[in-house]
Structure 1
Amino acid sequence: MTVTLALAGDTMLGRGVADLLAKSNDPDAYVSDGVREYLSEADATLLNLECCVSDRGSPWSAPGRILHFRAPPQAVDLLAELGVTCTTLANNHALDYGYGALLDTRAHLEHVEIRAVGAGATLDQAREPAILTVRGLRIAVISVTDHPEEYAAAPGRPGVAYADLRSGVPDWLTDTVARMRTETDVVLVSPHWGPNMTAAPQPYIRAAATILADAGATLIAGHSAHVAHGVAPPVLYDMGDFLDDYGVDPDLRNDLSLLFLVTVDELGPVRLRAVPLKLDWCRTVLAEGAERSWLGRRFIRACEALGTAAVLEDGLLVVDLRARKGG
């Protein structure tokens, strides 16, 4: 049995996107028909929700924290219209408007039957995997972030599943991965790791990926850099962004990203097809022309640097995920 997962990176529905959501919940206003057609090919869709979803709370006050992202409750209706199955919440914006807003986020997602993982009311809930049954295949989703420590859940305190990956992968995380490997068919770990605006994974991220794979992770799909990185099976180091209102770095071009369609079976990932995207202001479309070509060349080079071959097939970037296992 094989299933196709659509995996997308950071999705920020606050600020400018939130202003538009107050006027329209039409999916085409945010994600084009062409992109939605690729999403419809998937049996399940997962993304990293880089904001809270609530109409209450106040900005988290901490030295150096200047960006706070909050989406209105109707944002979950957009996610449902896009066919999102599960969102990861372990990231550096989940608590931007406090504990209550984080709990609202989980409640709003639950209301539209979208699973949430990586943050919760207690430490145990934040760390607990989501188990999806997709066409008979049981898929465990584990979400964790390596920043910021101040957002970490604790016994009796809401927060995110935090792991200081720069210092190594904690036992609780490898134990969770190993346990899920015995209880499910596929173990997907989705870490929010590393700083923004980097073109390649840092050494500590590559080391952590190897440890997670050795513990039993069959697929690792990261995010945080806002730039899509290369692939070293079974690791998608960074999926870039999917929808936002962010400023554009003229060199790294964080407005050019990828949607990953990954075929998996009980033995793990089989094949990856990456769909080139262009992130306009608050709307994501298929990348075309020179921008599509530039993005393709960058991704192929990034994979080559990790010892992986990516090829262009019918306008998509394709990687054989059974070719080698790297980290």
Structure 2
Amino acid sequence: MAMQQCRERSATATVACGRAARELGLRSREFELAVQLGHVRTVSAPGGRPRVTREEIERHRSGEGFPESLRNRLWAVGTAEAAQLMGVSPARFARLAKAGCFAPVRFYVNRYRAVVWHYLAADLVEFADANPELLTGRTPPGLRLELEGRDDQRARSWRARRLDQLTGRTAEPWEQAAAVAAVLSPDQLADAVPDPYERAYVSALRPDLAGIRSDSAAAREVIERVTLAVAVDEIGRHRERLALALDAARAVRPAPRPEGYAAAAPAREPGGGAREDSRPDLAAGRVLEPKPKSEREREPEREAGGRDARRGRAEAPAGLRAWLRRLRLRG
């Protein structure tokens, strides 16, 4: 009995990600990629930091071919190495990559503020085996025109891949909605999620798609161009997906909001549509109006000249983000 309890405790024990990476023989970026791709599963710990169970580490360590088998699945290559791996020229590889024939797995911004893409070697080998006619000789004219006529699909295919990773890692409906919302600009998100408390909650849960930190405003602008959808059709698909995710989340539980607040109906134009400038704007400090109080509740406020009511309304915008921050930490 004691031995069984010891094994159970060992299986559920967790270690920090840095230690897990060392025990799995992975460098930091390899470990991050392993988590993104779902090869190494993490669990949430108090404080929000992910950890890795001993059981997960032992699952890999006892696997056939460890550690080479795990590292091979995480082998990511740049354009030059990818072209060499596929046996094609860098120009041909770039044309296939821009056409969206395979999705990048990660990127970084170099010192010239250019995006450098990396691809999984396993994806490239799979594509090469399935499409040998695209690797040698002249590309058929029709296909060549189709490939060259497409806009650069690398950022778009990376976003799609990243969203699939993030939504597949959580079953929590609001977190899934937040993952989809992460590729929408603030303006698009405001249109897609008009309720400011839902929008604030989704924004608080939004994951960091790229995981890249930079002190350079120019580099951050480049990263934003990669992470945010820009094409009308892509934005439309993500908004449809977000609407479905929000419906599923609302069916489970509503977005949290302070007690005493209810959604205020937006002002209407004479033609029946909502005025654009009447939408509640969390960033500008406008929040939902409080629910009407009963006569008994309003009597002390009238006697005090309404000072308490005015003070309560003035404090709500300033405290809203702090409230959301505390809510997220508790979750």
TM-score scaled by length of structure 1: 0.21
**Higher helix fraction: Structure 1 or Structure 2?**
2
**Higher strand fraction: Structure 1 or Structure 2?**
1
Whose radius of gyration is greater, 1 or 2?
A: 2
